[in-house]
Amino acid sequence: MPPAARRRRAEGKKNPYPSFLHPHTELLFFTGTQTNTALTDCHNLNFRNRFIELGPEFYQAKTPDPVTDPYLVDFSPSAAQLIDLAPEEGGSKDFLDRFGGNCPLEGAQPLAMAYSGHQFGSYNPRLGDGRGLLLGEIQNKKQEMWDIHLKGAGPTRFARGFDGRATLQSSIREHLASEALNGLGIPTTRSLAVIGIRELIYREKPALAAILVRIADTHIRFGSFEFFHYTGQGENVKRLLEFCIQNYYPDIVQESDRYQIFFRRTMQRTAKLIAKWQSVGFIHGVMNTDNMTITGTTFDYGPYGFMDRFVPHHTPNHSDTHGRYAYSQQSEIGFWNLNKLAEPLVSLVGPENLEEEIRQYQPLFNRFHREEMGKKLGLAILDSEFTQLVQRMFQLLQDHRLDYTNFFRFLADYPGIPHPANNNNGGDELRSWLNNYLELARREGLSHEERKLQMDSVNPKYILRNHLIQSALDKALKESDFSEIQRLRILLENPFQERPEVFEKYGIDSEYYAQNTPETFLGQQTSCSA
């Protein structure tokens, strides 16, 4: 029985709300450190908005729509640290009212950004922030600037007839994925909080509504440039480009070829990001150009997934019937999307210069991916023998349907434990590969203990598996029990290590969360609204 239900029974009170709206369970906070007295409250956040200076062609100014009796689903203290917000603020009514849209935030200038983009290979001119609002930026004590964005804040002029809300289910999924990828050391937007709304919205069926409070280094997308390019606003393409260089690549402001360098930097960051995705088995699911940022940050989580058994052509998006955004296609799609970003820049950079830059994408990606796989295998000599080893490894993972994540944790212990393949199902082939791997490991000069330490620091024991997400969603949607969401967030803050004292405190069964995905959840697909 959820804690909230136990409290109601003990108090002898009836639930004052329908079953789908009853109060949430108590909030679990874990920061790993004592509260920093230098942190601030909601009233004293240092807001500004540089984007608004671009002018009304770039956005619609709009305040969030008020919401009914907002309640906290989950709050990330580690994300709060980015904006110097005290963790205890997350459970306050003031936080819920201000970030839920019922009260203004001092200094915030909310706006819906204009953009378009290519979706599944086809250009869609009618996009923009239909349900999102950029409140502004907060400058922290380190002088870092962070966008604060509400997803589900009500309809804007870009809403295309939709209600402008986000579902509780999709908000929870993005919240968990954001914090999970951050724990893995992958550039990502962060999720400060999920705020529940006591109203129903309609998708394929009635659904609970929510607001996701998102933190990002920027919300400027490839599609932001496409919008002005395809509407014949070349001057605004240039203005946006200068804005991006000044605020996100300030070290190149004085360079005569800064536009070309901007594209190069964006390409480098994109290639490195996708290489990191590939290394941990993360599949974004919707790599449209409006979901790609100019700083190489994982952005707009929808039907994402982590690889279970290694299936290269898997896509977690049930709408992606042709596998455009499958795991094996992500690098190629990154290249395709960068070509679409290049098109608005042709007149400013020159076609020859852009062609010169884009030719470097595949070698860049290959290098980044090779380096990531070297770390995962505990190997530093990345020669032709290493390349052959990796190629054979991926084939074996596929042939023997091995769990991608747990294979590398097993490998760190090998030869201390037996290999995971069935001896009657290609075991000899895998054993041969393992012997070859140990030969390459020995030439590195590391002891088994040193190699294991290195590998365990980059190969997660815990990932956001389908059945874990579903368990959290079932409890949240059916029982209004948010403890499993909080438990997953805490677990995935550091997915590489067991933390017995933390696990005991929050009731985390380390072996349960590390086990292979059950058969019934393998290959699971979801929709963009899920």
Model confidence at 91, in pLDDT bands (50, 70, 90)?
confident
- Coil, helix or strand at residue 60: strand
What CA–CA distance (Å, rounded) separates 430 from 427? 5
pLDDT digits (tens, 9 = 90+) for 257-269: 999 999 999 999 9
Does residue 493 carry a pLDDT above 70?
A: yes
3-state secondary structure string, 222-288? HHHHHHHHHCCCHHHHHHHHHHHHHHHCHHHCCCCCHHHHHHHHHHHHHHHHHHHHHHHCEECCCCC
Distance of CA 257 to the CA centre of its chain: 32
Q: Which residues of 417-451 are buried (b: 16+ CB within 10 A; e: fewer)?
A: eebbbeeeeeeeebeebbeebeebbeeeebebeeb
Please list the helix, strand and coil fractions of the chain in percent, rounded to the nearest 5, in that order.
Answer: 45, 15, 40
- Coil, helix or strand at residue 189: coil
* Residue pair 516/406 in contact by the 8 Å Cβ criterion: yes
Of the chain, the percentage scoring pLDDT greater than 70 comes to 91
Between the alpha carbon of residue 438 and those of residues 33, 414, 442, the distances in Å are: 40, 9, 6
Does residue 2 carry a pLDDT above 90?
A: no
Q: What is the pLDDT of residue 12?
A: 37
pLDDT digits (tens, 9 = 90+) for 463-480: 999 999 999 999 999 999
pLDDT digits (tens, 9 = 90+) for 351-376: 999 999 999 999 999 999 999 999 99
Q: What is the pLDDT of residue 28?
A: 45
What CA–CA distance (Å, rounded) separates 97 from 318? 36
Q: Where are the domains of the chain?
A: 37-222, 379-445
Q: Which amino acid is at 275?
A: A
pLDDT digits (tens, 9 = 90+) for 101-142: 999 999 999 999 999 999 999 999 999 999 999 999 999 999
What is the DSSP-derived secondary structure letter of residue 199? E
What CA–CA distance (Å, rounded) separates 301 from 291? 9
Q: What is the pLDDT of residue 46?
A: 87
What CA–CA distance (Å, rounded) separates 189 from 295? 11
Q: Which residues of 51-66 are buried (b: 16+ CB within 10 A; e: fewer)?
A: bbebeeebbbebebbe
Does residue 277 carry a pLDDT above 90?
A: yes
Alpha helices (H) along 74-167: 77-80, 93-100
Of the chain, the percentage scoring pLDDT greater than 90 comes to 83
Q: What is the pLDDT of residue 417?
A: 72
What CA–CA distance (Å, rounded) separates 304 from 308? 13
* Residue pair 101/227 in contact by the 8 Å Cβ criterion: no
Residues near 142 by beta carbon (within 8 Å), at least 6 away in sequence = none
pLDDT digits (tens, 9 = 90+) for 443-453: 999 999 999 99
Q: What is the pLDDT of residue 426?
A: 58
Pairing label, strands 71-75, 190-202: antiparallel
3-state secondary structure string, 3-54? HHHHHHHHHCCCCCCCHHHCCCCCCCCCCCCCCCCCCECHHHCCEECCHHHH
Locate tokens 């852009």: which residue? 354
* Residue pair 137/48 in contact by the 8 Å Cβ criterion: yes
With 0-12 CB in 10 A as exposed, 13-18 as middle and 19+ as buried, what is 498? middle
Task: Say how many Å lie between the first and final Cα of the chain, rounded.
Answer: 26
What value does the mean pLDDT take over residues 214-233?
98
Which stretch of DSSP H or E encloses residue 372?
A: helix 361-377
Cis amide linkage into residue 70, ω under 30° from 0: no
- Coil, helix or strand at residue 202: strand
Low-confidence winner among 2-16, 69-83, 140-154, 251-265 (lowest mean pLDDT): 2-16
Cis amide linkage into residue 415, ω under 30° from 0: yes
Structure tokens, 54 = 């671009």
* Residue pair 105/516 in contact by the 8 Å Cβ criterion: no
As beta bridge partners, residue 111 has 61, 134
Q: Across the chain, what does the average pLDDT equal?
A: 91
Q: What is the pLDDT of residue 203?
A: 87
As beta bridge partners, residue 74 has 194
pLDDT digits (tens, 9 = 90+) for 16-67: 233 333 333 344 444 444 444 478 899 889 899 999 999 999 999 999 999 9
Q: What is the pLDDT of residue 529?
A: 58
What CA–CA distance (Å, rounded) separates 310 from 394? 8
Which amino acids are annotated catalytic?
A: 290
Distance of CA 218 to the CA centre of its chain: 14
